[in-house]
């Protein structure tokens, strides 16, 4: 078994040895980029581009399928042939080749087989959170490589939060800084270029109007101003001021810079957790707009007396800014009262992560199903199923169908584009060093295949190989040494992830002997050895 699982596979019950350099013939301009992809995925190998007498032939053939990202792979009679619908299909086929290689008896082998494969969903994303703690560049690159091998096509970078901004802005150099070494514009572009080689779009997120403590402390003019009878101490600064024109000038400036850096169609603008009335702090981090003299002077004459229409005004303004920049808008769902038909554009891409918690926004009558009924396209990031910080467990993940949970109607299933697995708070959680690499192939499978993943040894052995590489022994199962598969629930174990009866010496020696590691494989090996 491979992860993600392929749709159709015929095994020819033979193996062929790979001799390097592997000669590659590229039938078109896009195919000529795949040797780099293969080299990143197979660091032990060497490749040579040639015009004839090839060991591996690559071609984009649109007639292969009417399905985007589809590919055919044939390994037979000493030759490997890849025919793909599009460039992403070529990358996915390269990932299948890389995962299929085995190192044994001092040589590299690949099974002879015929495969036809394609994804069940169009949006397969991973969200990283450098805003709360800037993730080192090499770890972001390793994650991108792991994503490519697990056949994702989107990387969501959460670049700002209440802690600050994770990159050095040129248009606003005084932005509050996230903890860690900030990304330069050149480093952001290097992420984009590296991801683009694997067919992965990078979606930036600037989180407004809430999660803005650092902004309103750094720029007090963006903070709501107390109305008559309200003290300054009552204004939390959690949100930037919805009624202040300066807020929109600031957003225009930042989003213009972001749009110039990131070439893809979507920009994520946050919009989550405006209402935080249940948090027992003084003042509470909640929406201040209804006690703000600036907001009231703008919105009361418009008939906007409550938070919701003021928030929708904000959404429409930001939507117009992005539209003027040639971008589409993506946002979290929880501040939209979807029990009623909201006054916001229907071509906003909604990232559904929850119905708001009590005291944090609209609840009654709200659901993912209602967004679909209103005609919104949705990315399903339902937090009990897609948040790797502390929620996801193996036994539930293997059966999760993102088109069915949370509940939706079959007639609206086409509006659920896919999923976004969310790794919140970057390096604040050391367990990401080992949990995230294991999460990537499994979530990759859940996005690629809507059918359940078998909860058995064949799956965990496949996950072992996907994470640790080609020189893992065929029957080696890392997870017999661990207390389950370390996903979100491992956060509370403080690194105590090994089974009580695990032979740690054998495991340490096995991990230390792995010698053909790509960057994404080296990271979990290093983390596990440190824990051992």
- Give the C-alpha distances (Å, rounded to integers) separating 323 from 273, 315, 320: 24, 12, 5
Q: What is the pLDDT of residue 474?
A: 84
pLDDT(427) > 80: no
The architecture (CATH level 2) of 123-448 comes to: Alpha-Beta Barrel (3.20)
The torsion angles phi and psi of 163, rounded to 5 degrees, stand at: -80, -20
Q: What CA dihedral angle connects 317, 319, 320 and 321, to 10 degrees?
A: 90
Mean predicted confidence (pLDDT) in 31-55: 96
Mean predicted confidence (pLDDT) in 435-459: 96
Q: How do residues 121-138 score in pLDDT, each as one tens digit?
A: 999 999 999 999 999 999
In this prediction, residue 277 has a pLDDT band, given cuts at 50, 70 and 90, of: confident
In this prediction, residue 27 has a pLDDT band, given cuts at 50, 70 and 90, of: very high
Mean predicted confidence (pLDDT) in 10-38: 96
Q: What is the pLDDT of residue 341?
A: 98
Which tokens is 50 given? 């040639």
Which tokens is 213 given? 């403590």
pLDDT(296) > 90: yes
What CA–CA distance (Å, rounded) separates 471 from 357? 47
- Give the C-alpha distances (Å, rounded to integers) separating 517 from 63, 101, 241, 457, 513: 36, 13, 50, 23, 10
Which tokens is 156 given? 């969501």
Which tokens is 369 given? 């199903």
Give the lowest-confidence range in 148-152, 228-232, 296-300, 441-445.
228-232
Q: What is the pLDDT of residue 91?
A: 98
Give the lowest-confidence range in 33-47, 71-85, 243-257, 422-436.
422-436
Q: What is the pLDDT of residue 278?
A: 84
pLDDT(39) > 80: yes
CA atoms within 13 A on the CB side of 499: 12
Average pLDDT value over all residues in the chain: 95
Mean predicted confidence (pLDDT) in 64-90: 97
Mean predicted confidence (pLDDT) in 402-412: 96
The fraction of the chain above a pLDDT of 90, given in percent, is: 91
In this prediction, residue 478 has a pLDDT band, given cuts at 50, 70 and 90, of: very high
pLDDT(429) > 90: no
Mean predicted confidence (pLDDT) in 249-265: 98
| pTM for this model (two decimals) | 0.97
pLDDT(221) > 90: yes
Mean predicted confidence (pLDDT) in 312-337: 98
Q: What is the pLDDT of residue 64?
A: 96
pLDDT(378) > 80: yes
- Contacting residues for 379 by C-beta, under 8 A, at least 6 apart: 123, 125, 330, 349, 350, 351, 352, 416, 417, 418, 419, 420
Mean predicted confidence (pLDDT) in 152-163: 97
The DSSP string of 349-403 is: EEEE--SPPTTSS--TT--HHHHHHTT--EEE--HHHHBTTTT--HHHHTT--TT
In this prediction, residue 285 has a pLDDT band, given cuts at 50, 70 and 90, of: confident
Q: What is the pLDDT of residue 243?
A: 98
pLDDT(24) > 80: yes
**What does DSSP say about strands 79-84 and 71-76: parallel, antiparallel, or unpaired?**
antiparallel
pLDDT(169) > 80: yes
pLDDT(440) > 90: yes
Mean predicted confidence (pLDDT) in 457-463: 96
At the top level of CATH, which class does the domain 8-117 belong to? alpha beta
pLDDT(267) > 80: yes
In this prediction, residue 426 has a pLDDT band, given cuts at 50, 70 and 90, of: confident
Q: Which of 95, 117, 104 is nearest to 42 (CA)?
A: 95
Q: How do residues 509-529 score in pLDDT, each as one tens digit?
A: 999 999 999 999 999 999 999
Report domain extents, the chain.
Answer: 8-117, 123-448, 457-531
In this prediction, residue 261 has a pLDDT band, given cuts at 50, 70 and 90, of: very high
Which tokens is 200 given? 């992965």
In this prediction, residue 157 has a pLDDT band, given cuts at 50, 70 and 90, of: very high
What CA–CA distance (Å, rounded) separates 66 from 348? 27
């Amino acid at each position: 078994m491979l992860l993600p699982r392929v749709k159709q596979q015929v095994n020819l019950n033979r193996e062929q040895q790979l001799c390097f350099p592997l000669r590659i013939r590229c039938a078109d301009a896009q195919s000529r980029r795949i040797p780099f992809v293969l080299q990143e995925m197979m660091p032990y190998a060497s490749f040579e581009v040639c015009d004839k007498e090839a060991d591996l032939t690559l071609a984009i053939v649109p007639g292969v399928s009417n399905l985007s990202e589809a590919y055919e792979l044939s390994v037979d009679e000493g030759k490997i042939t890849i025919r793909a619908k599009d460039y992403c299909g070529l990358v996915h086929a390269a990932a299948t080749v890389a995962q299929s290689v085995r190192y044994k008896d001092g040589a590299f082998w690949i099974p002879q087989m015929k495969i036809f494969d394609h994804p069940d969903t169009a949006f397969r994303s991973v969200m990283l959170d450098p805003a709360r703690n800037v993730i080192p560049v090499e770890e972001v690159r390793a994650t991108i490589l792991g994503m490519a091998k697990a056949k994702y096509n989107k990387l969501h970078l959460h670049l700002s939060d209440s802690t600050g901004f994770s990159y050095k802005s040129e248009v606003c150099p005084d932005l509050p800084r996230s903890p860690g070494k900030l990304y330069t514009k050149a480093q952001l572009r290097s992420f984009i270029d590296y991801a683009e080689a694997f067919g992965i779009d990078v979606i930036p997120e600037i989180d407004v109007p809430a999660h803005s403590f650092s902004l309103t402390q750094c720029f007090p003019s963006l903070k709501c101003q107390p109305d008559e009878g309200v003290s300054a101490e009552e204004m939390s600064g959690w949100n930037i001021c919805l009624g202040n024109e300066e807020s929109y000038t600031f957003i225009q400036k930042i989003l213009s810079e972001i749009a110039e850096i990131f070439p893809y169609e979507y920009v994520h603008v946050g919009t989550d957790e405006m209402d935080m009335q249940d948090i027992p702090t003084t003042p509470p981090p909640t929406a201040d707009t209804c006690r703000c003299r600036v907001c009231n002077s703008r919105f009361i004459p418009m008939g906007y007396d409550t938070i919701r229409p003021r928030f929708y005004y904000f959404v429409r303004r930001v939507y117009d800014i992005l539209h003027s920049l040639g971008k589409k808008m993506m946002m979290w769902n929880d501040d939209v009262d979807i029990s009623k038909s909201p006054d916001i554009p229907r071509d906003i891409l909604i990232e559904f992560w929850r119905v708001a918690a009590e005291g944090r926004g609209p609840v009654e009558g709200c659901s993912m199903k209602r967004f679909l009924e209103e005609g919104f396209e949705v990315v399903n990031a339902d937090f009990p199923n897609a948040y790797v910080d502390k929620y996801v467990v193996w036994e539930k993940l293997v059966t999760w169908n993102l088109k069915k949970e949370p509940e939706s109607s079959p007639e609206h299933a086409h509006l659920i584009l896919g999923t976004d697995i969310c790794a919140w708070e970057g390096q604040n959680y050391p367990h990401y060093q080992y949990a995230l690499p294991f999460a990537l192939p499994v979530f990759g499978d859940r996005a690629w295949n809507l059918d359940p993943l078998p909860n058995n040894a064949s799956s965990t052995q496949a996950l072992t190989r996907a994470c640790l590489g080609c020189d893992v022994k065929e029957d080696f199962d890392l997870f017999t040494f661990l207390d389950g598969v370390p996903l979100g629930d491992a956060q509370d174990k403080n690194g105590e992830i090994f089974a009580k009866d695990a032979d740690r010496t054998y495991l340490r020696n096995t991990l230390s002997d792995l010698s053909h590691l790509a960057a994404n494989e080296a990271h979990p090996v290093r983390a596990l050895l440190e824990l051992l």
